[in-house]
Chain A
Amino acid sequence: MFNRQKFPPISKKNFYLFDSYGFLGKNLCMSETGEDNLEKKLRNLIETIDVANALTEPLTASIINLLKITAFEMNSEEASVLIREGDHGDLRFLSAIGKVAEQLINLHVPAGKGIAGFVFSSGQPMAVADAGEEETFYAEVDRQTGYSTQTILATPLRHNGEVIGVLEYVNRIGEPPYEAFTPIEMDKAALFAEAVASLINAYEAAKLFRELGEKMINGATDAKFDEVREWLKGLRSAPEHKEMLDLAILIREIGSRGEAEREMCREVLEAVVRFSDSKSETSFLSY
């Protein structure tokens, strides 16, 4: 896994963050001050992993807690958060509470499919009183989960004007038939969505770190440390990797300084990716 010779073009998918480049090892080898410095940098990067886990786990728990509290306010027991996946309008369930919560997690929703797909792509909230009556996307989800969706309210999650996901409430507390969600509840859900969206945004920022960390852990675990060192030595002649390592450490440092800094950092990084995507299909980093 360490002998990759070319970078893939930069896109949102592989942006997180240099991991697909075998980032850790390649950069560690670029130390110009010897093995001690090398190990210091390794420790720094492992700390990055800890920071990442420390960031994402409380956020995930907070999202679940918020779902529980708001679902109760909405007289519902089933709620879920879907977030965008890739650049083509696809969604996936990030968090859910209720009877089939575990089955929903990571379930993929194709672009534009179902009420969630529409709400995500249009930015318009909507409620459906009889969601499961016909052969719809929800019937398909219900078949997979064994659940029966009858009434649903879906509202977009926005951050800085951009739709980043969908918040859904399904069915009511108690036994069917369930009453439809009301316009007042729709307004309430829009307010709840603001709070959830803030958490999702923080979660996604933290995910940048976490995924980097996970890849690094996997890389280090799959290979013996000696092998990593051998591999590092073999790559000493690639100075651009040092710059990438420095960049990752810089990001970790920014991440530790506070929410505003993390937010700004994320926005800047995403702007760079957008710029890069729009500039050329072929990444200038390719070699």
Chain B
Amino acid sequence: MTSVTGYETGKFGTISTYFQIDDSWKLRTGKGVSVAIIDSGIDENHPDLQGKVLESVEARNENKRVLFVPSETGDSAGHGTACAGIITKIAPDAKFHSIRVLGAGGLGDGQSFLAGLEYAIKNRYRLINLSLGTTKPQFFSPLHDLLDRAYQAGCIVVAAANNLPQPSFPSVFSSSLISVSKSEETDPIHFGFRFGEVIELTAPGVNVRTAWLGGGYKSLTGNSFACPHIVGIIALLLETYPNLTPFQVKSALYAIAEENLRTAVDSE
């Protein structure tokens, strides 16, 4: 049993969000949970992902507005497929919404990235994987607004840090999303939480073997691949506790990571 304590501010003021979670979530499969992946698309013909992609849209730039239309191009880069592959290993019954903002129709700039996130929030997708980021200062403010909207709408956004000397957005918006960087840990359950750091969570992200284009697999390294590990864990939590708020999810992750740490210390 893991206790989760925290505080949440709502229209009635700040309230305690003490609750307890048992370990049953570790036995879940992500059933009934869907994940929006804002990325390069998903290869839905990959053996690991067949029948799991509920929706596949891609950004189109029409009259200087970004629209989302059904995608028939899949994934030309492999990255979105890799992220979905990681999630499906942890939560095999989770389904996907593929929101392609990279490499489609000449897009891939910050504008389509913003539009993809807005699309996911408007559709109130509960769990959003964002293994992307931007360091362009002009996107700081609009992304901040969008992430606040996501938080208020109950969308749980998980973003990858950029692994570069500069801060990237939105991963540095600690309050409104869950940000992740890579560790050399291999067990997805044994993620870490660095309380007080800008990028709070660490998860496996080194030589991660996952789905790739053409039905194959690759061993990949990067924060991009740590992010979906945490998304997979949250999918298990949401199956067990469907009404968790973003704040509670973060509190739960913190409590589980603390438990992981205690267990590791005890076993030494």
Contacts and interface: CB of A to CB of B under 8 A. Distances in A.
Contacts of B218: 128-131, 133-134
Interface in B91-113: 102-104, 106-108
Nearest to A135: B214
A115 B160 CA distance: 17
Chain A interface size band reads 35 or more
Given A128-B218, A133-B218, A112 B163 contact: no
A135 B79 CA distance: 15
Given A126-B220, A134-B212, A155-B164, A121 B182 contact: no
A124 B219 contact: no
B136 interface: yes
A60 to B, nearest CB: 25
A118 B103 contact: yes
A111 B206 contact: no
B162 interface: yes
Contacts of B160: 124
Contacts, number: 134
Contacts of A114: 77
B165 interface: yes
B132 interface: yes
B37 to A, nearest CB: 13
Nearest to B137: A161
Nearest to B135: A161
B264 to A, nearest CB: 20
A191 B106 contact: no
A89 B105 CA distance: 10
Given A124-B222, A155-B164, A161-B137, A183 B206 contact: yes
Interface in B141-168: 160, 162-166, 168
Interface string B39-72: 1100000000000000000000000100000000
A156 B160 CA distance: 15
Contacts of A153: 221
A193 B165 CA distance: 10
A181 B221 contact: yes
B216 A118 contact: no
B14 to A, nearest CB: 36
Given A89-B108, A126-B221, A133 B163 contact: no
A193 B106 CA distance: 24
A124 B220 CA distance: 13
A129 B163 contact: no
B85 interface: no
Contacts of A122: 39-40, 79, 102, 108, 131-133, 224
Nearest to B219: A129
A188 B130 CA distance: 24
B168 to A, nearest CB: 7
A124 B131 contact: yes
B184 interface: yes
| Contact size range, B | 35 or more
B141 to A, nearest CB: 13
A120 B225 CA distance: 17
A123 B106 contact: no
A187 interface: yes
A89 B79 contact: no
A157 B85 CA distance: 28
B208 to A, nearest CB: 10
Interface in A72-120: 87-89, 111-115, 117-118, 120
B195 to A, nearest CB: 22
Contact of B213 (A121, A125, A134, A191): A134
B132 A124 contact: yes
Interface string B112-136: 0000000000000000000111111
A158 interface: yes
B111 to A, nearest CB: 12
Given A89-B103, A158-B166, A180 B207 contact: yes
Contacts of B64: 278
Interface in B236-265: none
Contact of A190 (B132, B163, B212): B163
A130 B165 contact: no
B216 A124 contact: no
Contacts of B40: 112, 118, 121-122
18 contacts: A89-B107, A111-B108, A112-B77, A117-B77, A117-B103, A122-B102, A123-B134, A124-B160, A127-B222, A128-B221, A131-B218, A133-B218, A134-B213, A161-B134, A161-B136, A161-B166, A190-B164, A194-B165
Interface of B: 39-40, 64, 76-79, 102-104, 106-108, 131-137, 160, 162-166, 168, 182, 184, 205-207, 212-214, 216, 218-225
Given A114-B77, A124-B132, 18 more contacts: A88-B106, A89-B108, A111-B106, A112-B77, A112-B102, A122-B39, A128-B221, A129-B221, A134-B214, A136-B212, A153-B221, A161-B134, A161-B166, A182-B206, A183-B184, A183-B221, A186-B222, A190-B163
